[in-house]
Chains A and B, each alone.
Chain A
Amino acid sequence: MVDAARHPKVDVRTYTEVERVEGYVGNFKVLLREKSRYVRTDRCNGCGECAKVCPIEVPNYFELNLAPRKAIDVAMSQSVPLIYNIDLDACIHCYKCVEACGKLEAIDFSIEDKLVWEDIGAIVVATGFSHFDPSVMPEYGYGRYPNVITAMEMERLNNSAGPTAGNLIRPSDGTNPKRLAIINCVGSRDKRFNPWCSNFCCMYAIKNAILVKQAYPDMDVTIYYMDIRTPSKGYEEFYDRAREMGIHFIQGRPSLITEDPETHNLFVHSEDVALGHVIEREYDMVMLNQAAVPQPDVDTVSSVLNITQSPGGWFMEYHPKLRPMDSPTDGVFLAGACQGQKDIPASVAQGSAAAARAGRVLHADEWEIEPVVAVVWEDRCVSAKGKKCGLCAKACPYNAIEYEQGKAAHVVTAKCHGCGGCVAECPHNAITQMHFTDAQILAQIHALLAEKPEEKILAFRCHWCSYGGADLAGVSHFEYSSNERGLRVMCSARMDADFIYEAFRLGAGAVLYSGCHPQDCHYITGQRVGASRAERLLKAFEKMEMTPGRFRVEWISAAEGDKYARVINEMQAVLDSIPKEKLMEEIERLRPEMERRARRLREVPQVEEALGYSRQLEAAMVGKEA
């Protein structure tokens, strides 16, 4: 901690939050809110005279509310930086602190939050994790029984820098416990709460047991566990040491804790797998080893930084094996437990690894980005002919399109991230996206529906999420109907309504319109552009009395392989439930309307050529079959 503050190249900005991130790899602009401490950082010397005279006590987050802090205080004596701050909600403005500060004049109630923009080339996200709150498990009585504490509370109670100076006492009466039970997997490996193993808790339970045993050799310390998981270097040996020290291990997940209301002693009811029967043992104190869970503000951080989440809310890495330090956004890297529950050595290692990955970008003179950007066909843009439009600029999440009535819209290439939303939104087909042109996509649609289209499920997927979900379905061998035919674009925003009409015009049995969940969108608001279009399509098809389920809209993350497989299988079930004749009748009935709606597509440059080529291709495909 001190090293970071002392490092000449590291600028530590505490009590500061990230409000907004704009830009792209190598060229981010980050808006920081430096919250007011009401104490001047250039003058406070950390002497603490102010806190001594402050009459107001407030709960202390750092001590997990086991001890109070003053309305002007520091989190701990080793705080970095050692600068006091005022909790203005609690402050009664008695100004005793101002008096105590005296000539330093460090306290200044007029300081306001400061908003600062910073130019940044690469970002490492290391926002950490939080702890499961066991008060939602009534069976353990946390919050009702004073002597049931959490692991983090144990850390403070048994800590020489903590509120009791390391004297482990029972909250009910201040005496030292003689019998301590530690319960593992509280909120972890529990399908009611979190399915995952929290990774470090076995070692954490053993560490706490050893520390307590060292301080109080006569104490009876028992760890209740489901499995002891000690896979890394030196871990199993540490476990052996705990056993040698006389720490008891009982395999069994306690089902209930009851309390003697007089003594506040606790009775732990559990199965003992070794004995093969149910046991009940009395303790003076119980420590609940809480699950590691994502930070409560993970959704906000996700949307500010454009990072997808894995199930449960951990940040998702670009690739779990090959690129575990990279987020899906180029130039944004992940470190520590925000990416998944992990212990200190692993967090430190990932921090260094993320720094190395970020260094690749930061040491380069220039960085290459993919040219999948939007380009305007100026002669087709109606704005150039004086008409009012600007739909493209409205769809752009990056303000990359300059629109002025009377001039053709202009895409600022460096700002364009290539979602393709403007391309699909343009009613005059005056914009195209490089590498995902209408002609290219149309040629794919025709090829995928060349034979027996009525049996096919054409699935539009976005690159970052639902395509990844389809990959994961395969990786996990979740089988789904082989009638699915996938087509990839960068974002659901690119899924032009014309493509859907064209697919149905060609006689597709079903069409899936899929992308990311709104908070996961790689293009800030691209998904919203895609989603509102999908809503319009759903309504249009309902009006046409299309069988429900033939057009389906689903948001599927790259971590939801099971969902992708389930959705496709459900769509297959819809197709199976419609008698063939009825389906063919419906396709024929709707074809003229689909043709009418898809006709604008024909005006797009190269599309006629694409259709011509598709006819050749289809002939070859069918010919080969025959």
Chain B
Amino acid sequence: MTQNADHVLDHFDLFRGPEYQEMLANKKKMFENPRDEAEVERVREWAKTEEYKELNFKREALTVNPAKACQPLGAVFVAVGFEKTIPFVHGSQGCVAYYRSHFSRHFKEPTSCVSSSMTEDAAVFGGLNNMIDGLANTLSMYKPKMIAVSTTCMAEVIGDDLNAFIKTSREKGSIPEDYPVPFAHTPAFVGSHITGYDNAMKGIISYFWDGRAGTIEKLERKPNDSINFLGGFDGYTVGNLREIKRIFGEFGIKYTILGDNSDVWDTPTDGEYRMYDGGTTIEETLEAINAKATISMQEYCTEKTLPLIAEHGQEVVALNHPISVKGTDNFLMTLARISGKEIPESLARERGRLVDAIADSSAHIHGKKFAIYGDPDLCYGLAEFLLELGAEPTTVLATNGGKAWEKKMQALFDSSPFGKNCKVYPGKDLWHMRSLLFTDPVDFIIGNTYGKYLERDTGTPLIRIGFPIFDRHHKHRYPVWGYQGGMNVLVTILDKIFDTIDLATNVPAKTDYSFDIIR
């Protein structure tokens, strides 16, 4: 017997005991009709070859291990960033269970979201009644200040019209005439979660600025000196938005973060559950039309939102997930230019500290090759930073990256001698990445939790930066933006590099001459 009460064995120890090992070996041999071991080994080796890579890259229809999710996830991300707002996803209810689970596994926080629970009859007759009943129920149970509606692919395929449905819901008395219900169509078969972010954010902004779906007069812009801020879909939203607030504070700039979900995904354990916390208020959202400019930290999350804002007369600036010194320089200089304020000395000092840290450590990163995957802007920001560190972002892959992103990445590579051998892969998945890691090996992978399968299969150490991160805790609390964010990313990379060297040099009397105390 393996198990014992004094020292309870967990699954990772329990099943390694001889009884279990024998049982499992017997199960395989007797009942699984297993493949010949030599054949498994042959295919395993074949899957590492150039030949396999070529076949793999010829795929036209099959997607394997993609690094993207679907639109409504992004819409939920946006909605919870507004004060006392419930995301209401019109369509099948299973989708909502998935979004809530997905966010909770990443943030280790609750995520409130409701569904209109459409079933087979709604597929035939449309989901109008689900919308009418659903809005009334949500309002009376959870007393939100606003319900932000988006759609699953089911509602999109049958062609439900949100604007008409919400209007009818008002007429039927399900919600008051003037109750705010912004909406966005977010078909899962178009784009990805970053498209959903864009559509939902655009939906909320246009709803409030442009007369609430034709029910009142459009707002008239009375320009002021404030700056609006859009974070984009961001797994580090908790740490990042707080860092951004601090930076705005250092400047003394008046600002509005549109979609501030940093509090609702970081509530305290103090005996009270806060279903709502923080978030951009409706008043702030209305007032935001008057701002001088809007800055988006992620160009590819705001491709439709920024033009909408620009149409209202504001300057719009799109950045690409600034992690690097240059990225943050650009961000701060943009703030200074727009606000007419000087960059505070305190931030200049922070910059100096990050450069100091890079100078201290870059010898350990210089010349190392990295494979990066994630959302397009995150990939860009990370690659830009690696180039500053003298590293080579050899392979950069975004399943939801398009042609424009590809071009932009290539321009970045072309701007640095360290980018000479780097390649960008738009629209590819992590099974493509697996091939690349065998045929064009790198020293480290940077990606989300699912990168651990690549690490296992190829032996390339994984640095976890991205979304989702399910198997490490609390990373989302630490910013990756600003000089402080750059510092966090630098330390994260260095930790893995040093751990990897230590692991490779710890065999007594064999390799441990390099098991250095000082690095």
Q: Do A and B assemble together?
A: no
Query: Which residues does A use to contact B, with CB under 8 Å?
Result: none
